[in-house]
Structure 1
């Protein structure tokens, strides 16, 4: 039995809620996407949303034309306004990623993804700077300077990978960053700009980025990096299988920027992990499973110790890097499938959103918090075997002595998700994995996605409840304890429900 202290250990930081990822930004124009975002914000409430493609052709911002033999550029914000309006209307702000290259500003034809984001440097850096300046100036004019100052601005995405930046030319990236950062500060000195948004296993880029920024006196307001714990892809048609490192590997990656930048000019800057997940592939079924939720639980509850934000990649399966998905469940990154089916990892975040402000205890399999009104929450998770050599324990028990102030009883509400409960993926597999479920099947899947709920009254002794939580394989559970205020009248006797005589006292 673990004795949970009555005095808080401090506040429970919600860096896990600071940002979440999305597919390319013009997907926000779609009805399914906007429905998913509203559900996300209702249940979880992220602060920022980061996605690719702000400057890609699908957004239509950069529009060059020839007039009387001279090249001109028109900047059009028709779609950009609709996208940002949709975000702000649901209570989430943009975390701006500046990229990819507009095709008519690009120095080459190399692209990435099914939707062909151009990955080459600008053919004209002055025209790129004008694009950045016009975009930020327009946003300030439309949404106000105070608002836009709250939007972090990240320069490019994973320039250390050849699929995202031509030839992984570090010097060319530094040049792009320098021009961009100075342009941002020319628009307004208090706008926040950073990078280099590198992928895992490339921390030498952080060191050289710090040296470059120091040597060139280039503005850097935050450092960004990505984190994934999967090995090389084993590809099958419309799918990928991968090995996984233990979940602690993700926390090590979160900690990497501060570790490698310790003695540099960037040592004390905010660190944003602007993408993280188990697998980096958008067609790995691990994302759809209860395993993924239990695997990531120790990461999202402890990540605040290493980074100012860590952005789950992504909130929705409305996402097309590898093409249009071929089935409802296809291993997409999203917390939600198309048509708003909640995955187990969605519930992990929704459970966290019901946690309290005060941190009482944090262990290898549990997080205990308290709300200001006295309600205590216990988030617990079953351990997983990331090696795949075993299925993991069939049962896992968490025993806690929890402080609950007031009264003789506490009301216990428990919500659980595991391989069977709160798991639309399992129900879909039982159905025969229909690629395009019919309306009645969708209704069943939405029902299956609802966590299992149970309720009980537990006794309090000296202001404590002894709580025993037995978890199934890959289960995450949220137990909420609220002091009972008894309002039943003194004559209430459930023994008389069928008209029997009063119980002798």
Structure 2
């Protein structure tokens, strides 16, 4: 096997576009304890900057309240739930990425809905009332949280209007009107608010250029372009779940790159590009989400996605997600990095590992990323490459050998280094495997939950590495198990062992 010689000097700065945003279920879930506990855990170990979900204007949020009492007819806006949820977001250090939708029933022009929780997907009956709702909401947020804060919250118009399930008849003409009316209303509230769209479903090529041409003609403001990316095929339904084929993971990066390529030469070609949803499967009941395979599959996207777009938002941080109804089992193929009750999935650890990387990129390859921080710590994120449904099954082992430069913060060469390794794969750090071996209990007992929490933590090993004084390098041999994602953190050692200590004498032997 060839040894990868990791350069001593950085080749790039690490972009953390993966951290800009994370997805969530319907907005009103932010009132629940389990949801907030899950979000706090994600923020403590990963730390996303924004959070995006559907249904801010759903009737469950109770924002729009129309009345007719004693001859007094009017509209009252209620911020009770909105304030509680946004307060909770800000308390754990995450900001809203505001997606404006769905349609309140009182404003809707029709009865078509989507999801178990029935989000109305029809255009407004009167755009003046919709615009008033948007303006009142944004003005309230600015009054409550301050202009400087709210200006950092992107505002996205609707969700996946390119699909008839999410927008009546998937009408471009009607969505373009919605976009024009809404974006101008946003700018009327404050010209510095950032507004964008069209938040299209994956590979909606027939929407990109028409949207660009339309806003160029209408003069509607657009500050960013947003779209979604997934790689699974049609759903093969079973009770309470689906199976799907998976394309090669590189197709995610191809989807990230496509809109900018198609928009070349239009007025939108240089705008920030935000992937406001991405994952393997677009279904919230596909068991691939619970696996170590999912983490290994997405590792190249986390490493390379920032070269193509300004952000890409994992869909979603938690399995508290009810588009297909209340889940029937603790593991059910949900989108989340966490299950209900905060059991960590392997993909959670992929993100947590990425959060521990340094800012300087030393090397990148098809199965690794090597970084360094300003203390001299070198971090190696490595994974077993996987290829989707049509590729041969992955081997039980994957081997990677690196020659790593080790130096102290002041540029000196230590004698030894400390290597701390955390790993998840089909067995280690994998509560889904443990749950399968338990017999797949739908509602685990307290004892079973405790065991699943333990099983969900990465396996940790550690060892000393000798540093060649002539080259300032240490050799690192990594043997990865099936579908493994691993993080090795290499710190230069400053040995403070007193001269009189002899560990060979701990047991009293000569």
The two structures have a TM-score, normalised by structure 1, of 0.98
Paired residues of 2:289 and 2:336 also in contact (CA < 8 A): yes
2:324 is matched with 322
- The one-character-per-residue Cα deviations of 1:433-485 (angstroms, maximum 9, x if unpaired) are 00000000000000000000001001011211111101011000000000011
Secondary structure, aligned partner of 2:102: coil
Distance 1:152 1:163 in 2: 24
Does 2:462 correspond to 1:452? no
Residue correspondence of structure 1 range 355-504 to structure 2 within 5 A:
355-387=357-389, 390-405=392-407, 406-461=413-468, 462-501=471-510
Paired residues of 2:247 and 2:387 also in contact (CA < 8 A): no
Secondary structure, aligned partner of 1:154: strand
Distance 2:74 2:502 in 1: 84
Paired residues of 2:65 and 2:76 also in contact (CA < 8 A): yes
Distance 1:28 1:391 in 2: 40
Does 2:175 correspond to 1:173? yes
Aligned-residue CA RMSD (Å):
0.9
- The gaps in structure 2 that reach 5 residues or longer are 408-412
Does 2:41 correspond to 1:39? yes
- The one-character-per-residue Cα deviations of 1:367-398 (angstroms, maximum 9, x if unpaired) are 00001110000000001231256331111111
1:128 is matched with 130
Q: How many residues align?
A: 501
Distance 1:70 1:384 in 2: 64
Paired residues of 1:402 and 1:465 also in contact (CA < 8 A): yes
Does 2:51 correspond to 1:49? yes
- The one-character-per-residue Cα deviations of 1:307-339 (angstroms, maximum 9, x if unpaired) are 100000000000100000000000000000000
Residue correspondence of structure 1 range 290-329 to structure 2 within 5 A:
290-329=292-331
Distance 2:205 2:21 in 1: 22
Secondary structure, aligned partner of 2:103: coil
1:15 is matched with 17
Distance 1:75 1:43 in 2: 36
Residue 496 of structure 1 and its aligned partner are, at CA, apart by 1.4
Distance 1:70 1:390 in 2: 70
Secondary structure, aligned partner of 1:397: strand
Paired residues of 1:111 and 1:118 also in contact (CA < 8 A): yes
The two structures have a TM-score, normalised by structure 2, of 0.97
2:410 is matched with none
Residue 9 of structure 1 and its aligned partner are, at CA, apart by 1.1
Residue correspondence of structure 1 range 213-228 to structure 2 within 5 A:
213-228=215-230
Q: Which has the larger displacement, 112-121 or 399-408?
A: 399-408
2:68 is matched with 66
Residue 71 of structure 1 and its aligned partner are, at CA, apart by 3.8
Distance 2:203 2:372 in 1: 38
Match of 2:209 among 183, 207, 210: 207
Match of 2:109 among 102, 107, 110: 107
Distance 1:275 1:499 in 2: 61
Does 2:269 correspond to 1:267? yes
Secondary structure, aligned partner of 1:293: helix
Quickly say closer, same or farther: Cα 1:452–1:431, change in 2 above 3 A.
same
Paired residues of 2:249 and 2:387 also in contact (CA < 8 A): no
- The one-character-per-residue Cα deviations of 1:40-79 (angstroms, maximum 9, x if unpaired) are 0000000000000000111111111124546411111100
Q: Which has the larger displacement, 116-125 or 252-261?
A: 252-261
